[in-house]
Structure 1
Amino acid sequence: MNSSYAVNQYTGMGKDALEALIEETIHEIGRERCKGFLNQYGKKYGGKVGASVSSQQHFTSVEEAIYSLPSICQSFAASEIHTIEKSGSTIYFTGQWKCDWLNKQEELFAFLSGYTSAYVTALLERPMEIYWKPFAEKSYCYFRAETKIEEKQRHTPVITELKNAYEELTNLYYHLDESETIEKKLISLFFEDKDLLETLTFMAHTLKKSIIIDYRNKIIESAFIKEKDEHIYYNWAEHFSYTEEKQNDIDTFPIRANNINLGRLVVIGNQKLISNEKIVITRALNVLTIQLFHEWKITHSIWKNKQDFFEELLNNPDHDTCVKRSHLFHFSPYLTNRIAAIKMDNRQYLQKIMKYLSNHYQDIDVFLMENHIIVILSGDYAKEKEEMMKSMQQFLLEQIKVKNIYIGVGREANDLKKLVKSYQDACRISDFIQLTDHSNMSYYEDLEAIMMFLKGTDNEELIEFYKNTIGELVEYDRLNNSNFLLTLKAYLDNNGNLQQTADDLHLSITGLRYRLDRIEKLCQAGLKTGASRFKYQLAMRIHYAIKINTDS
């Protein structure tokens, strides 16, 4: 039986299974702790493969046994052996692994180091340890292996062993008793209806470590013992700095209940957690899970669905409770978000549109507020707004068979106040383009120049002002295929400078004067004063904003 068959027979694991194991382990215990777990996991199975191969294959030399490594690693990585050295009972060899099928190479290399260490140990019947270091190009990893020098076992008197065991048991009972007292205090705080901050503050002072509960790297509540710990946390969370995690002994513990992710407990200290601290944290996690799940239930009883929650969030942007509980609805106002508002002439279709959108776009939040359907675009949907909203518009036109759909998309937002402004933008834009007699959509960036007027002016008055000022000119250009509007724009852009305008349009001064005279007669207003030119400029901005809607 060849060695590669032995691998498949005894590991029972291929690339997909290992990748799933790595992803799940990182999610549950964090990346650094995951490497240690995978190393031990690899040793367990490497030993089995080594025992199987050595029982069925006879290697004539140490070198031949070592050169079998690439075949037992081939399921996971391409392997090469570079050098092999022997000196008495000491063996030393080096090589490299290459993995380009997985984006978590370091975790794979940790698994392989344990896997191959145990394999070689079983083959050579002497303890071997493999150490690894990734190249700058992360898909490659250099490794070296050497005989592990075992300390000679010293004979320990039975009485000493019993004494040590008694002391360990005494310490264990003491720490269990201490942790039980702390757990009772935490339960008492919970039943006294103390908030999460008070609970974390008690834990932080008890452990003398900073305690944070976060969700997707955003703090829900925190109790920092030292000011520098806050900086350490943000550097670690925002930049995914695992060096920071190792140097500052950051430990993480998932908080889950009924398959609901409630957050993560983060502990920052200057030393690794010792056994009694781990016992305290384990007991504290039980209480924190109950407390957070209780808050989750309360949240869902106050806001029976996301619509109620978002209405509260948008109507009360300073409502601290909404912000802190937003993670319970798997929404963060601090990520990239945009609000889109959909409006129709016939309101009876709004509920139908809601149903279609909710069923077709299940990963997007859609709800009804007054006369608008509100769509919350988050993450990639917010960044690729044009593609997303055109797809949604096309879907509605095909499904509803109604042409008069007006869609406004607000500004990009990465905090709660901007999110509220994005909502206001979206509603105002959809209201405005409904009045322009064009069934289309527009974005904040297209109308930014006139958004100030949309906020403080009746939209119907704004459209009427535009039509009264240059409406005849626009209609004349349309019917006669002329370009008086372009002439007016160039004249206004050059602040009334005749020579510069004529040069830009490749006209003579006489020809330009003729056109301006025709424009004044069509619009029934002069162009010579600053006030009149400002009036034309505003009307032109409204015209081009409407034209964008028509052409898009």
Structure 2
Amino acid sequence: MNNKIDVNEHLTFHTETSEIFLNKQRIILMGADSLGTLRRDLISALGTERAKGFLLRYGWNCGVENAENMMTALPFETELDWITIGPKIHAMTGHVNVEATEINFDPKTGDYFAEGYWYHSYEAEQHIKHFGFHHEPVCYTLIGQAGGYVSKHLGRKVIFKEIECIGKGDARCHWIGKPLEDWGKEIQSETHFYVEEDLELELNDAYKRIENQKEMLQRVLKINEQISNVLLKKKDLHSIISILGQHFQTSVIVEDQDFQLLASFGKYKNHDIKRFIDNPFGLQKIPINNLNKHKRTSHLSLPEQFGWAHNRLTAPIMVNNQPLGYLSLIRENVEFDEIEYIALERTATICAIQMLNEKTALETEQRIKGEFLDELIRGNPNVEDLTHRMKFIGHDLNQPHYLFLFDLRHRHEIYDELEETELLEIKKQMAESIYSQIKSFGQSCLVSSKLDQIISLVPSDTIEKVNLSVKEFGNLLVKHLGNSYQQMSIILGISSQCKHIKLYKRGYEEARKAIEIAQFKQEKIDVVAFDELGLIARLCNDKNLAELKSFALDILEPLVIYDQKSSSELLKTLFYYFENQGNVLKTARNMMLSAGSIKYRIKRIEEITSLNLLLSKDFFDAQVALQILIFLGLVIIK
């Protein structure tokens, strides 16, 4: 049997009467968007359940008519031929592309089973366009049409059912068709959709549906009123989401734009949602894309491999068409219903206002604190006035502080004006991140962003509370920033402890010098504390580093070259010789060598460098030269 159907052979256009016929059946051309609008209005007027029955029965009648019409036009004789060609006829209508993976029919027993996939379903596309993803399959007309066509040919009721659907976030529409009695209990909840109902019952059902929608609206309005009151009372995000969680007896969480937890209500387990979002797989690709790209509420299902198996209904918290964060209802098993979708999206709007208020307040506070910080590091501040103003906003400058200076560089040297604007925004976000990170340890701080630097005054108490050294605390901050802003190169310089308001200018210079030294060294250094720098480092600056390097190489470069070529340890011997103030016996013990070996090496050093280490000038010059080379990373003593 030839399975190919040429549509042109069956279509007739009567230009005089403006009629179009498919065989002997008159048809009309109608856009998919028009059918989508009709679908939207039906669902809005009748509700999803009633509209589903209407569309399914409409599709069923279309399938029956297609079967009757094609019987008079195609030269097929057996039911098997008609059943096999069915998907081709279905696809011919333009509603969907059909792939039948299995069709089994026994003419003797009447047994029937079919399975396959639909692609480019106009019905799924239109439903997503008007309503977003649904919690169940939505191709009502298509399953009705397939069922009506097959039932007409077999003379028995055959039901088609979608087990996957693009309209609910799946990768494709997956269908199965078999006789009603073969479905058993699995199809019982669907059979009433195929039964025509009288007007009285329709009106009664419509009245019940209106009452249910009225009750649903009242519940949503009540939740909205309570949450709005919380917003007006200037309470925090936790207070807002607690109301939502209590109403629906479920967990609720708020996350920032990087899916870091901001607030939670109810049960919560640590899990790697960011990795799940960044690496979508299988059936989750569509809802994740719907959330990320289209900024729509999406139903996500996380498997155990990400740390917590659960379902989440997630709505983006939008401000100026950009997500500030995400609001989610969390359940481990139960699905979400329509009222929860509506309430979640309304609450997300309230959260957007709350987060925008917090962001504005934080920016204002940071701007004020930044101005105060600029006064401090400029020198000669009005101590009494500045101390009073800082106490007014809750910051005591009489406590000991460390000045943290973050030097920021974009990893790409060349970027256009747009990227520069984005770079300024990134630096602003980094300043906010530093502030939030330090505040999470229990105490506020001053943060100011200017040019390629971020300056922060960190209370000593904050560092002591976490039982870290000041450098370990700095490494913690740099690591946090590096993970979130990988496009930026970050060096942190840390001052010595500033115990008085007049010392902050000195602290700024110390932190700046620490960064200069880190940039000059050959090895990569992320955090430099001024207190860890030796005398040479403190004497160095960007104007004399080249001169000091030249001085050191003039004295010890021959020895450096000799060690590199011969893989000897003369520089190491010289280092320990200086560490032991020229004591040969102590040097020998340090290097676990004999005194004779040390004497031989010292003699060799003097021969190579033309130095006389018995002379105080040569001894001192060589010692300083070695310290400079070690400081600059040109010599490494292991």
- State TM-score, norm by structure 2: 0.45
2:316 match: secondary structure: strand
Measure, in 2, the Cα distance between the counterparts of 1:159 and 1:521.
115
Measure, in 2, the Cα distance between the counterparts of 1:154 and 1:50.
16
* Alpha-carbon offset, residue 213 of structure 1: 1.8
Return the letter of the residue paired with 1:174: E
Q: Which residue among 384, 399, 423 is the counterpart of 1:364? A: 423
Q: Which residue among 160, 173, 185 is the counterpart of 1:128? A: 160
1:204 match: secondary structure: helix
* Alpha-carbon offset, residue 535 of structure 1: 7.7
Return the letter of the residue paired with 1:432: I
Task: Using the TM superposition, name which of 426-435 and 205-214 deviates more.
Answer: 426-435
Measure, in 2, the Cα distance between the counterparts of 1:62 and 1:2.
16
Task: Using the TM superposition, name which of 420-429 and 288-297 deviates more.
Answer: 420-429
* Alpha-carbon offset, residue 271 of structure 1: 2.8
**Aligned counterpart, 2:392:** none
- Could you say if the C-alpha distance between residues 412 and 281 of structure 1 is closer, same or farther in structure 2, counting changes exceeding 3 Å? closer
**Aligned counterpart, 2:271:** 234
**Aligned counterpart, 1:340:** 408
Mapped pair 1:198 → 2:250: no
**Aligned counterpart, 1:444:** 525
**Aligned counterpart, 2:123:** none
* Alpha-carbon offset, residue 264 of structure 1: 1.8
**Aligned counterpart, 2:218:** 177
Q: Which residue among 112, 115, 138 is the counterpart of 1:91? A: 112
- Could you say if the C-alpha distance between residues 372 and 224 of structure 1 is closer, same or farther in structure 2, counting changes exceeding 3 Å? closer
Q: Which residue among 243, 252, 270 is the counterpart of 2:314? A: 252
Mapped pair 1:264 → 2:323: no
Measure, in 2, the Cα distance between the counterparts of 1:184 and 1:453.
56
Given that 1:473 and 1:485 are in contact with CA atoms closer than 8 Å, whether structure 2 keeps it comes out as no
Q: Which residue among 227, 233, 251 is the counterpart of 1:210? A: 251
**Aligned counterpart, 1:333:** none
The C-alpha deviation readout for 1:6-59, integer Å capped at 9, x for no partner, is 9xx99989xxxxxxxxxxxxxxxxxxxxxxxxxxxxx9xx99x99999889848
- The gaps in structure 1 that reach 5 residues or longer are 14-42, 100-106, 134-139, 312-337, 343-353, 376-409, 503-507, 548-552
Measure, in 1, the Cα distance between the counterparts of 2:572 and 2:560.
22
**Aligned counterpart, 1:147:** 178
Given that 2:493 and 2:515 are in contact with CA atoms closer than 8 Å, whether structure 1 keeps it comes out as no
Q: Which has the larger radius of gyration?
A: 2
2:493 match: secondary structure: helix
Given that 1:212 and 1:219 are in contact with CA atoms closer than 8 Å, whether structure 2 keeps it comes out as no
Given that 1:411 and 1:421 are in contact with CA atoms closer than 8 Å, whether structure 2 keeps it comes out as no
1:292 match: secondary structure: helix
Q: RMSD in angstroms over aligned alpha carbons? A: 6.6
Measure, in 2, the Cα distance between the counterparts of 1:120 and 1:434.
72
Task: Using the TM superposition, name which of 208-217 and 155-164 deviates more.
Answer: 155-164
Return the letter of the residue paired with 2:492: Y
* Alpha-carbon offset, residue 172 of structure 1: 3.5
Mapping of 1:29-44 within 5 angstroms?
Answer: none
Mapped pair 1:518 → 2:583: no
Given that 2:317 and 2:323 are in contact with CA atoms closer than 8 Å, whether structure 1 keeps it comes out as yes
Return the letter of the residue paired with 1:255: I
Measure, in 2, the Cα distance between the counterparts of 1:77 and 1:455.
72
- Could you say if the C-alpha distance between residues 96 and 257 of structure 1 is closer, same or farther in structure 2, counting changes exceeding 3 Å? closer
Q: Which residue among 522, 537, 543 is the counterpart of 1:459? A: 537
**Aligned counterpart, 2:19:** none
The C-alpha deviation readout for 1:151-185, integer Å capped at 9, x for no partner, is 36678787776665554444433343333233222
Given that 1:77 and 1:98 are in contact with CA atoms closer than 8 Å, whether structure 2 keeps it comes out as yes
**Aligned counterpart, 2:351:** 288
**Aligned counterpart, 1:475:** 554
More helix per residue: 1 or 2? 1
- State TM-score, norm by structure 1: 0.51
Measure, in 1, the Cα distance between the counterparts of 2:353 and 2:93.
45
Given that 2:251 and 2:264 are in contact with CA atoms closer than 8 Å, whether structure 1 keeps it comes out as yes
Measure, in 2, the Cα distance between the counterparts of 1:180 and 1:112.
28
- Could you say if the C-alpha distance between residues 195 and 367 of structure 1 is closer, same or farther in structure 2, counting changes exceeding 3 Å? closer
**Aligned counterpart, 1:415:** 480
Given that 1:429 and 1:444 are in contact with CA atoms closer than 8 Å, whether structure 2 keeps it comes out as no
- The gaps in structure 2 that reach 5 residues or longer are 12-28, 34-55, 121-132, 153-157, 166-170, 181-189, 278-299, 375-405, 429-447, 455-474, 495-510, 577-586
**Aligned counterpart, 2:517:** 432
- Could you say if the C-alpha distance between residues 63 and 4 of structure 1 is closer, same or farther in structure 2, counting changes exceeding 3 Å? farther
